């Protein structure tokens, strides 16, 4: 439970009354009661209002706001306001302004325009967080502390370059070790002095977003950039903890966000929170996977949905409305995958600047007689009735997929073998095969204890970090099933190729040797031909993008290529290792093949669907005090039916008892307590 003061699912969102007059605020409070809103995130972008100059701090309006909310039954998620520095700071201390990859120094404007290695920014952001924590440490309204907002971006200024050299000294200790890790004998890059090292930008090693002449340098910059922003976060985190040791401190993450290694950030967050903004065409399996990543950041602990829109966004190319029922459906999907809050951006639409067309609980018309408000109020009422039933409930999975930011950075900065390889898309492809079967999956890091899982997948495990191959061997030896794919086991943590044959450190576990890697054009395809029937798999399936040309070194050949000069070479292998088995899929297969293969792997481990449902009807489960709660969610616009089998269930949202054949309306949700 996030706070015993509010022993239910938090329901609310971002609130910016500083953009409005007092009468509007009073009207907001009236409508918050109607909607069941019980928490507001405030002070996210109020730094300039609180601190008009270097020495003056004005907290009176914030005092009044917090008191007003609390007196009207609304608790507070208090932000530190440091996501946008004041204009006076940029004018007086230009070191706070970022420099872009082309060497151009920004001017004041936008947000996230602060250099994370600016001494000025660090000084004043820490100071305002300190003052806020000291002032509101005992206020009963404050349940959560929210640092900055949606960290991101990069900087290539002189302060960052100096800090990068310090970071490298701490990482490598000597220039000899750095030169070895970066392979600087290539293209005459040997460094003899730390000050010779420059940031990898479009002025040095980079061209465009995903191209680098020295991947080792670029990889270390990605690590450094993520750590630099984490250092800023930790400065504020520490001063809040100094005043409020038992506080709940977080910052809002953004799912599969490439620039920041969220597994590393999670170590310094008391609870994970994130902002979920799928588009109308985003596969609902991808949204589920993002929720599972957020849950996996802290080994399965419940997380906060800090932001979602109640209706539409404003920053996508086409900002479609959420159709009737979709906001409620997607809110319950979040809860089903581990959220203990449902919160919106924003509670009232602003009237100016770039977010005036971003959806809100209270629309520009300013009253409650709107479709969006009615849907929000309906959900608010349901969450009141649910109370604490699902709070702290866990999601129990026997399948895990390994995800690693270093691997992501390294793959997509790689010069070859294909521009078509997208790491997150490959992760999703394997995740979706389980999702379609209503089999739950944890998204885990290379540091996660794998012993509780029966099946572990690591698609495109290009980079094998120290000790991870041995960890996988131990997992399989003890009876686990492991699967990886093409372009795996290629490099170490410095992005240096492991010589002696691909897949490097995984070669023993997989029982194969990859001799060559063929990159196919988008219009080219090869085929996977099963040697024998395997479960529901038989015959021929399409594959493409990359094709590893491999030889078995003890692994059983399950399928062979059907075309080209490597026709007849293995494409799918299974290697018995100890009590378990290790699988290798050497190309990018069609969806039909993955459904069959992963379904068979699950069945072999007695991992069964939570329920058998039609396409588009998702089932997820949370467990608490020995009780299992099934969330049945119909992503289709039409009514669907499914079988409960011999069991009976109580739908907690309607208080109906269900059994046998059950219907669920289009975009409907059922929350089943199994009897």
Point out the annotated binding site for Zn(2+): 115, 155, 157, 160
Give start and end residues of each alpha helix (H) in 387-510.
405-413, 423-435, 468-477, 507-510
Q: Which of 126, 205, 236, 307 is catalytic?
A: 307
Residues placed in the known binding site: 111, 115, 149, 155, 157, 160, 315
353 CB-near residues (< 8 Å, 6+ apart): none
Asked, as a colleague might, if the bond just before 445 is cis with ω within 30 of 0, I would say no
Sequence-ordered list of residues with C-beta below 8 angstroms from that of 495, at least 6 positions apart, any chain: 215, 216, 219, 410, 413, 463
Closest CA to 246 of 126, 394, 341, 145: 145
Instruction: Report yes or no: 482 and 456 within 8 Å, Cβ to Cβ.
Output: yes
The residue written with tokens 């309204």 in the block is: 141
Closest by CA position to 313, among listed 258, 281, 350, 360: 360
For residue 140, what are its two tokens? 């009963």
Rounded to whole angstroms, how far apart are CA atoms 180 and 17?
55
Query: What six digits make up the tokens of 341?
Result: 């809050």
**Which is catalytic among the residues 126, 150, 368, 375?**
150
**307 carries an active-site annotation:** yes
Q: What is the DSSP letter of 202?
A: T
Retrieve residue 175's tokens.
């220039």
Distances (CA, A) of 440 to 255, 338, 391, 459: 18, 12, 19, 17
Burial class (CB in 10 A: 0-12, 13-18, 19+), 660: exposed
* Structure-token pair, residue 158: 């002189």
Integer Cα distance of 616 and 361 in angstroms? 27
**How many Cα atoms are found within 13 Å in the side-chain-facing hemisphere of 54?**
7
Residues 89, 97: contact at Cβ < 8 Å? no
What's the residue count for the chain? 675
User: Binding site for substrate: residue ranges?
Assistant: 111, 149, 315
The dihedrals phi and psi of 427, each to the nearest 5 degrees, come to: -60, -45
B/e letters for 378-393, b = 16+ CB within 10 Å, e = fewer, are: ebbebbeebeebbbeb
Contact between residue 417 and residue 411 where contact means Cβ atoms under 8 Å apart: no
Which ranges of 202-283 does DSSP label H, i.e. alpha helix?
215-243, 262-266
With tokens 């479960």, the residue in question is: 535
Per the CB < 8 A criterion, the answer to whether 278 and 330 are in contact is: yes
Q: Is the dihedral of CA 66, 59, 274, 319 positive or negative?
A: positive
150 is catalytic: yes
Are residues 575 and 512 in contact, defined by beta-carbon separation less than 8 angstroms? yes
Q: Which residues are catalytic?
A: 150, 307
């Amino acid at each position: 439970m996030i706070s015993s003061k509010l022993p239910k699912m938090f329901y609310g969102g971002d609130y910016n009354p500083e953009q409005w007059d007092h009468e509007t605020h009073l009207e907001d409070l009236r409508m918050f009661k109607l909607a069941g809103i019980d928490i507001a995130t405030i002070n996210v972008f109020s730094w300039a209002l609180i601190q008009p100059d270097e020495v003056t701090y004005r907290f009176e309006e914030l005092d009044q706001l917090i008191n007003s909310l609390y007196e009207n039954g609304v608790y507070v998620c208090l932000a530190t306001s440091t996501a946008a520095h004041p204009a006076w700071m940029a004018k007086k201390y230009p070191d706070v302004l970022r420099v872009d990859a082309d060497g151009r120094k920004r001017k004041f404007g936008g947000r996230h325009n602060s250099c994370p290695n600016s001494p000025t920014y660090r000084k004043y952001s820490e100071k305002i967080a300190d003052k806020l924590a000291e002032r509101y440490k005992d206020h009963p309204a404050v349940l959560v502390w929210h640092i900055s907002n949606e960290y991101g971006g990069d900087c290539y200024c002189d302060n960052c370059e100096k800090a990068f050299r310090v970071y490298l000294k701490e990482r490598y200790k000597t220039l000899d070790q750095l030169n070895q890790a970066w392979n600087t004998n290539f293209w005459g890059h040997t460094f003899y002095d730390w000050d010779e090292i420059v940031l990898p930008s479009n002025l040095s090693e980079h061209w465009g977003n995903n191209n680098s002449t020295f991947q080792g340098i670029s990889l270390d910059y990605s690590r450094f950039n993520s750590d630099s922003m984490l250092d800023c976060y930790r400065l504020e985190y520490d001063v809040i903890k100094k005043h409020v040791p038992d506080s709940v401190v977080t910052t809002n993450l953004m799912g599969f966000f490439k620039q920041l290694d969220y597994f590393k950030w999670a170590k310094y967050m008391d609870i994970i929170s994130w902002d979920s903004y799928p588009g109308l065409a985003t596969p609902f399996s991808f949204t589920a996977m993002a929720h599972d990543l957020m849950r996996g950041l802290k080994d399965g602990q419940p997380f906060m949905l800090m932001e979602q829109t109640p209706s539409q966004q404003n920053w996508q190319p086409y900002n479609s409305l959420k159709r009737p029922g979709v906001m409620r459906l997607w809110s319950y999907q979040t809860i089903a995958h581990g959220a203990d809050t449902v919160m919106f951006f924003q509670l009232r639409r602003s009237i100016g600047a770039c977010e005036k067309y971003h959806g809100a609980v209270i629309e520009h018309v300013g009253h409650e007689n709107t479709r969006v408000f009615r849907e929000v109020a309906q959900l608010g009422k349901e969450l009141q009735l649910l109370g604490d039933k699902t709070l702290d409930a866990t999601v129990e999975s026997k399948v895990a997929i390994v995800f690693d930011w270093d691997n992501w950075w390294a793959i997509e900065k790689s010069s070859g073998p294909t521009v078509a390889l997208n790491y997150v898309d490959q992760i999703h492809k394997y995740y979706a095969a389980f999702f379609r079967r209503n089999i739950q999956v944890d998204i885990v890091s290379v540091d996660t204890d794998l012993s509780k899982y029966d099946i572990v997948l690591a698609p495109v495990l290009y980079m094998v970090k120290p000790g991870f191959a041995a960890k996988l061997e131990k997992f399989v030896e003890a009876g686990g099933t492991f699967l990886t794919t093409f372009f795996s086991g290629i490099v170490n943590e410095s992005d240096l190729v492991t010589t002696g044959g691909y897949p490097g450190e995984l070669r023993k576990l997989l029982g194969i040797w990859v001799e060559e890697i063929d990159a196919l054009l988008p219009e080219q395809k090869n085929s996977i031909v099963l040697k024998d029937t395997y479960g529901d798999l038989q015959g021929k399936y399409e594959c493409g993008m990359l094709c590893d040309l491999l030889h078995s070194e003890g692994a059983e050949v399950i399928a062979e290529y059907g075309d080209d000069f490597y026709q007849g070479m293995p494409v799918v292998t299974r290697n018995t290792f100890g009590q378990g088995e290790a699988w290798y899929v050497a190309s990018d297969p069609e969806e039909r093949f993955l459904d069959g293969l992963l379904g068979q792997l699950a069945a072999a481990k007695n991992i069964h669907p939570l329920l058998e449902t039609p396409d588009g009807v998702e089932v997820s489960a949370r467990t608490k005090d020995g009780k299992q709660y099934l969330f049945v969610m119909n992503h289709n616009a039409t009514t669907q039916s499914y079988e409960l089998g011999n069991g009976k269930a109580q739908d907690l949202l309607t208080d109906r008892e269900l059994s046998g054949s059950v219907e669920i309306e289009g975009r409907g949700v059922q929350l089943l307590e199994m009897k």
